[in-house]
Amino acid sequence: MASVGIRDVKKSFGATPIIHGVNIDIQDGEFVILVGPSGCGKSTLLRMIAGLENITAGDIMIGDRVVNNVPPKERDIAMVFQNYALYPHMTVADNMAFSMKLRGAPKDEIKTRVDKAAKILSLSPLLERYPRQLSGGQRQRVAMGRAIVRDPQVFLFDEPLSNLDAKLRVQMRTEIKELHQRLKTTTVYVTHDQIEAMTMADKIVVMHDGIVEQIGAPLELYDRPANLFVAGFIGSPAMNFIKGKIDGSGFHADGGFNLPIAGAPAGSSGKSAVYGLRPEAIRLDGAGLEARVHVVEPMGSETQVVADIGGQNITCVFRERIQAKPGEVIRVSPDAKLTHLFDGDSGKRMAA
Amino acid sequence: MATDSLAVKPARAPIPEPSAWDRLRVNRNWLGAWFMMPAMAFLVLFLAYPLGLGMWMSLTDMRIGRGGSFIGFENYVYLLDDRDFLRATGFTLVYTFIASIFKFSIGLYLAVLLNNNMPFKALIRAVVLIPFIVPTVLSAVAFWWIFDTQFSIFTWLLQKWGILEKNQLINWLGDPLLAQGSVIFANIWRGIPFIAITLLAGLQTVSPSLYEAATLDGASKWQMFRFVTYPLLTPIIAVVMTFSVLFTFTDFQLIWAMTRGGPVNATHLMATLSYQRGILGGRLGEGAAIATAMVPFLLAAIMISWFGLQRRKWQQGENND
Ligand SMILES: Nc1ncnc2c1ncn2[C@@H]1O[C@H](COP(=O)(O)OP(=O)(O)OP(=O)(O)O)[C@@H](O)[C@H]1O
Ligand SMILES: [Mg+2]
């Protein structure tokens, strides 16, 4: 096991810069998730850690060794690919044993290691099958098994669950998390699914267009997003943004209504700002704002309502079951303690 | 419960037993047989009939312009004692064997080479195809000159490099052994593109992430070829080598254009010998017997590749990726 350091790493493909200086520190044994919209450079960063892509500038360290010019096989990392990349002509057992065979490990050691990994992943009955004869989830587990057998310093996962159906994905999420708690191997995991990130990570790195927007624990990102991008990316359904001005100890929306805030930073009165309101921070309140209902989506445990407040569509999530029909008016008010304020120009979080 | 309500339902009129015709109508095998009819008709007309006729002719003493009478296996018995026939058979086997091995190794090597990223990739691939595009007779004529006693470029090169004395000549196509080597060389040259390009197509179906996985697993370039590329290529290798062996074994054009089977019948293949005896010599029965004698060899080659072609275990099972 080892820590991973990423220092001012940049990457260009030809003349096109893709990653513009990224700094991430990953502690020994940590489960870190890189998350961000498609094309933001997550896979590229992961492949640079693996050594499959060379580094344009900066340093990548594994342990305290700079590995910029260390070939992949000497980095002691294992990677699970998005398409699993299982060798189709090898059985499950051979797939898992391949790296050890190449290293010339003794047969019985290979067997014990493969058997142990198979047991951890409940693959034992499938060892003689070929990848074609496996379901998607089983293949995914074989891909993980191949990584476990190596007993590497660092696990790298590139969207390993994106090919699975919703239910299996939830199940595998738990399994990967459990596996990590058991093996305690430093893990870097790429996904564009923020729910995966929230549920699995010790630490989330939010990336956007080749830069890091924020690094932090899942709830930290949820409670204190550093800027509009993170605020909009983390949390589902996404945060509502309302443009307006800070007005003394309140917020005056451009739509002509007032919203409560937890507290304005000193000397900010009159400045333009963006009011961030999570759907789940909105309560039904007989004395609240008028909201004209557009869409009601009962989800079972909660009800999601899209309603028009002062000319802007706001998504709300209520624990209560509400019977409102489209066109009706309900009254709601935000929970002032759970609101966010962002600078109108820079989009940065305004300290309360 | 649902089962209760099912139980009290009144019985419907029983579904009538399907008649034999009904069953036949929806039988996929029966339908499949009908769809195969046109192709079957073609095969019978243009393959089975000539083949059957040839085999029948080989059992007669037919000559050009004169219908023959049935003589049983006399032609074959005669051929078994015929030195030229035995020699042609032997040379056909050697020719096929040596040429196939070289074509396979060089073709595979070229394919792997061409699969790498390199400048002018498309151009180089096109160049590799040239021997395949040029009509056989044309390339044979070119080889005729290349192996000409007076003007051979090889002789010239050997002289240049000082291996041969000035004015010392090599009778490439005049010496039996050299002639055999020369026609094999020409066949290899001509056969490589087909194998290289087909294998290249096969190589391109191998997912690049398998190579990345192998890289991380610590495989060297050679190990990657040996344990990933080669096994994944075996199905295509089986197909392409079957074709290659069949084409080489039945080769005619190249030999006929370069040596006509000479010198002293050293480069006769079974196909050229059959043509010479049957058409030029007019002894149709004997020519047909030589041609028919090729069939067991071809069948053996097909049998071998049939086992090679069987879907490997790892190719079986559902394909849902
Ligand atoms: N080999 C390459 N050559 C040129 N550009 C590339 C190459 N690989 C990736 N890119 C570009 O780099 C950017 C980042 O790609 P990357 O694969 O890292 O995205 P990602 O964050 O993993 O996205 P996704 O979630 O869709 O997988 C993209 O704009 C992509 O077009
Ligand atoms: Mg990606």
- Residues whose CB falls within 8 Å of the CB of residue A351, separated by 6 or more in sequence, listed in order: A265
Proximal ligand: closest to the CA of A206: 1
Q: Which residue has the tokens 């069987």?
A: B310
Q: What is the pLDDT of residue A92?
A: 94
Alpha-carbon gap, residue A253 to A339, rounded angstroms? 14
A131 interaction partners in chain B (CB closer than 8 Å): 314
Backbone angles phi, psi at A119, to 5 degrees: -70, -45
Q: Would you say A221 and A204 are in contact if contact means Cβ atoms under 8 Å apart?
A: yes
Mutate to test the pocket of ligand 1, among A42, A47, A206, A207 (most ligand atoms within 8 A of CB): A42
**Cα gap B103→A285, rounded to integer Å:** 83
DSSP E strand boundaries for chain A: 4-13, 16-26, 31-35, 57-62, 65-66, 77-80, 154-158, 186-191, 203-208, 211-216, 240-247, 250-253, 258-260, 272-277, 282-298, 303-309, 312-318, 329-334, 339-343
Respond yes or no on whether the N-terminal peptide bond of residue A237 is cis (omega within 30° of 0): yes
Residue B3: is its pLDDT beyond 70? no
- Interface contact A130-B313, CB threshold 8 A: yes
Q: Which residues contact A350 (CB under 8 A, 6 or more apart)?
A: A264, A265, A268, A273, A341, A342, A343
User: Is the CB of residue A36 less than 8 Å from the CB of residue A24?
Assistant: no
A-chain CB neighbours of B218 within 8 Å are: 73, 99, 102-103
pLDDT of residue B173: 80
Comparing CA positions, the residue from A257, A254, A244, A248 lying closest to residue A342 is: A244
Nearest to B224 by CA among B200, B206, B238: B206
Residues of chain B in contact with residue A102, where contact means CB-CB under 8 angstroms, are 217-219, 223, 227
Q: Is A47 in the pocket of ligand 1 (CB under 6 A)?
A: no
Whether A40 is in the pocket of ligand 1, judged by its Cβ within 6 Å, is: yes
- Residue range A319-341: mean pLDDT, rounded: 89
Which of A89, A146, A150 comes nearest B314 by C-beta? A89
Give the H/E segment covering residue A32: strand A31-35
Handedness of CA A9, A53, A203, A78 (dihedral sign): negative
> DSSP letters along A283-330, please?
EEEEEEEEEEEEEEEE-SSSEEEEEEETTEEEEEEESS---PPTT-EE
What gap in Å lies between CA B212 and CA A77, rounded to an integer? 13
How close A216 comes to chain B (CA, Å)?
Answer: 30
Residues whose beta carbons lie less than 5 angstroms from ion ligand 2? A 43
Rounded distance between C-alpha atoms, residue B239 and residue A271, angstroms = 75
- Residue pair A186/A4 in contact (Cβ under 8 Å)? The answer is yes
pLDDT (tens digit per residue) in B74-104: 889 998 899 899 999 999 999 999 999 999 9
Closest residue by Cα to atom 9, ligand 1, is A44
Residue A24 · residue A32 · CB < 8 Å: yes
Contact between chains at A132 and B318 (C-beta distance less than 8 A)? yes
Longest dimension (CA), chain B: 109
How large is the angle between the packed helices A92-103 and A107-120, nearest 10 degrees? 140
Atom of ligand 1 nearest to the CA of A192: 25
> What pLDDT, in 10s, does the model give residues A102-124?
989 899 999 999 999 998 888 89
A84 to A66, A99, A134, A186: CA distances (angstroms): 28, 15, 12, 20
For the whole model, what pTM was predicted?
A: 0.79
A83 Cβ below 6 A of ligand 1: no
**Chain centre distance of CA B2:** 65
φ, ψ of residue A38 to 5 degrees: the values are: -60, 135
Structure tokens given for B151: 């003007």
Find residue A303's DSSP bridge partners: A298, A318
Residue A22 above 90 pLDDT?
yes
Cβ-proximal residues to A286 (8 Å cutoff; 6+ apart), any chain: A331
**Ordered structural domains, chain A, with CATH:** 4-230 (3.40.50.300), 240-343 (2.40.50.140)
Ligand 1 atom nearest the C-alpha of A44 is 18
Q: Which ligand is nearest to the CA of A191?
A: 1
Average pLDDT over residues A121-142: 89
Residues of B in contact with A130 (CB under 8 A): 313-314, 316-317
What proportion of chain A, given as a percentage, has pLDDT over 70? Answer: 99
Given an 8 Å threshold on Cβ–Cβ distance, is A131 in contact with B314? yes
pLDDT of residue B318: 46
Residue A94 has pLDDT above 70, yes or no: yes
Burial-class residue B207 by CB neighbours within 10 Å (0-12, 13-18, 19+).
Answer: middle
Chain B residue with CA closest to A52: the answer is B212
pLDDT mean across residues, chain B: 85
Answer whether B218 sits within 8 Å of A102, measured CB to CB: yes
Closest residue in chain A to residue B217, using alpha carbons only: A99
Which value, in Å, is the radius of gyration of the alpha carbons in chain A? 24
Amino acid (1-letter code) at residue B220 = S
Structure tokens at A150: 């190596």
Ranges of H-type helices in A42-165: 42-50, 92-103, 107-120, 136-150
- Which class for A163: exposed (0-12), middle (13-18), buried (19 or more C-beta within 10 A)? middle
Single-letter code of the amino acid located at B138: L
pLDDT tens figures, B265-312: 889 999 999 999 988 988 898 999 999 999 999 999 888 887 776 666
Q: Is the CB of A100 within 6 Å of ligand 1?
A: no
Tell me whether residues B315 and A132 touch, CB distance under 8 A: yes
CATH code for residues B77-310:
1.10.3720.10
Single-letter residue type at A296: V
Inter-chain touch B231–A89, beta carbons under 8 Å: yes
* Residue A186, pLDDT above cutoff 90: yes
Cα A308 to ligand 1 centre (Å): 38
pLDDT over 80 at B16, yes or no: no
Chain A residues in contact with B235 by the CB 8 A cut-off are none
| Distance between CA atoms of residues B67 and B48, nearest Å | 21
Nearest to B314 among A72, A102, A132 (CB): A132
Task: Report which bound ligand comes closest to the CA of B208.
Answer: 1
Nearest to A28 by CA among A55, A64, A59: A64
Residue B4 — pLDDT band, cuts 50, 70, 90?
low
- Say which amino acid occupies B148: D
Q: Where are the beta strands (DSSP E) in B131-199?
A: none
The CA distance from A204 to B149, in Å, is 78
SS3 A9: strand
What pLDDT is stored for residue A352 in this prediction? 59
Q: Taking a C-beta distance cutoff of 8 angstroms, is the pair B297, B249 a contact?
A: yes
| Alpha-carbon distance B212 to nearest alpha carbon in chain A (angstroms) | 7
Domain boundaries, chain B: 77-310
Residue-level pLDDT at B320: 41
Q: How many CA atoms lie within 13 A of B120 on its CB side?
A: 5
Task: Yes or no: say if A9 and A45 are a contact pair by the CB < 8 Å rule.
Answer: yes
Paired residues of A241 in beta bridges: A276
Neighbours of A110 (CB within 10 A): 20
What's the maximum distance between 2 C-alpha atoms anywhere in chain A?
75
Q: CA B228, CA B207: separation in Å to the nearest integer?
A: 10
Q: Which of A52, A85, A150 sits opposite B207 (nearest CB)?
A: A85
Residue A194 has pLDDT above 70, yes or no: yes
Other beta carbons within 10 angstroms of residue A348's beta carbon come to 11
d(CA A328, CA A5): 55
Residues of B in contact with A98 (CB under 8 A): 214, 217, 227
Section A125-135 average pLDDT? 91
pLDDT confidence of residue A110: 93
pLDDT over threshold 50, residue A174: yes
Q: What's the complex ipTM?
A: 0.82
